[in-house]
Amino acid sequence: METTVDVAPGIRLWAQDLPAATDAPEPDPVLLVMGANASGLLWPDELVARLAERHRVIRYDHRDTGRSTWAFDEHPYAIAELARDAVAVLDAFDVPRAHVVGMSLGGVLGQLLLLDAPERVATATLFCTAALGGYGSPDLPAPSPALLALWEQMADPRDLEAELDWRVAHWRLLNGTGTPFDADWFRALERRAIEHAGRHDTTAAHARASQDGLERGAELAAVEVPTLVVEAPEDPVNPPPHSGHLARSLGRGRLVRIPGMGHAVNRTVVAPLAAAVLTQTSGAHSRG
């Protein structure tokens, strides 16, 4: 089921609710929270299908992505407001709490949910992300220079095929060299996201949004919600020191490593990532 969710005056989000493919009593749903400037359609269907074997799955488009409202220049916002949007999506589907799975910026938003709305989070799985306030330490590296240079071009005007070329080049850097890179697969993924949005440009709104309210790393120690941090050893955005730092910062954090994974959910890592999420949502990791 698809719907729209009003989160602020003049701001509406697209959201999709996918039923579990099981007749067993339904556990808490899974809420997928995507990264910056990225539509919810960039969650690969292969991953969604694996999670839907046991869970109802909800995914959505952030503001200024996909079919949600694109209006940052008229209605600027802080990154922290995107976490409140996630709660509004749960409210729209009458979901009292969910297993939150956040990638990259979605992992930052997941941390804000753990701090500000812990009663809405059954468990959390965070990956390809950094702890709140984590870039303040010299021991925690910044994204690779090659990525920073490419990001400078993110909002440049391009025709459709040139935009697809840019996005595939971006995924190539994000993927790293630890797993095979399938350019055709990523091109098809992005073409589908563009068709979903009805436009191929990007305003890079999340890169321009205020980061006020994100310096809250010290509060993570009080988090009581079980949280899994997935370490992606080839991640060029948030290299491995970030994942370990986040897991140690959390009151109930634990760390697992997916060999070869970069800052991308490609076909190679779908199975181990889904297995890690489902182990977390089932609580199996806490049983002897």
Which of 39, 55, 235, 242 is labelled catalytic?
A: 235
Q: Which tokens in the block code for residue 26?
A: 């339904």
User: Which of 34, 38, 3 has its CA nearest to residue 18?
Assistant: 3
User: Is 286 marked active-site?
Assistant: no
Contacts of 285 (CB under 8 A, 6+ apart): 228, 254, 279
Q: Which tokens in the block code for residue 13?
A: 């989000």
Report, in this order, helix, strand and coil percent for the chain, each rounded to 5: 40, 15, 40
Which of 39, 104, 243, 249 is labelled catalytic?
A: 104
User: Tokens 């010290």 appear where?
Assistant: 218
User: Which of 14, 11, 15 has its CA nearest to residue 31?
Assistant: 15
Largest CA distance in the chain: 55
Coil, helix or strand for 122?
Answer: strand
Which of 99, 200, 245, 263 is labelled catalytic?
A: 263
User: Is 104 marked active-site?
Assistant: yes
Burial class (CB in 10 A: 0-12, 13-18, 19+), 84: middle
Contacts of 287 (CB under 8 A, 6+ apart): none
User: Is 243 marked active-site?
Assistant: no
CA distance 259 to 257: 6
- Residues serving a catalytic function are 104, 235, 263
